[in-house]
Structure 1
């Protein structure tokens, strides 16, 4: 039965049995939808559908040596989200440089549970380099391990751990926040 197989075995099996992809969709849709809903709530459903189309098309390119399937799926999700933001930026009218950033933090602010610290948290997160911020959010929000986050971002695990440590240190040094989420 394919549901008893781990994610990597399922991806390998899809080469000869495309139906083996279905358990991956069942296992990971909720977490991946959450990833999109926190970053682009109005488009989360469409982005999830796009993710599964892209992941299915690219399944032969999955390399277990680079990390687990879950991390690979979050890497595909990150690429889908980046493409979505680029499309939005291209639709923006106005002078060059006045377009939408490829990281829409104003939308994230509206959904933070800790509304009282949202402006401060936003400023702290926006002040982080994009790679450090993405790693921190993948670990804190999506509950990926640092190794899985590294695979999702496409960098070595040691580099990810170093950047994650730097991001946490910068946040702690800026000002202590009382948050419901675990950014430490």
Structure 2
């Protein structure tokens, strides 16, 4: 096991060469600093395994190499996750949000004119994707009552907006209704 004093000497003598080693192997200099910090953390944890002074630098390069491998694997995982998230966002987001603004404004105005319970039933249906039985559980109603309230709320919204939003349970973004002739 190495003493704290020996660890400091190893750190001082090898920090710069390990940093240069890492900088040449990562895309961002900040990542190189993280690799070196993680390398010395491993050294501290494995201080019983630190070889004699004449072998320590090569051992440190081996540790740094494994830390770099972990770093690159983590980067690849983050990139795959980012790709999946970007795909999901593209599937959810409209192609041109600007074209939706007039419809959204009309629909927001119509929703604001509805009663609180009607608005909540519609939002739970369209935004949260809940079915009437699930809405009943959320609002503390019976399933038949929730279905009736949803039907009435849809009818009231159609009267305000001027068109049908689709069949019950249809997953439609409530904010993309057609504007009335007055709203055009």
TM-score (norm 2): 0.39
* Structure with greater Cα Rg: 2
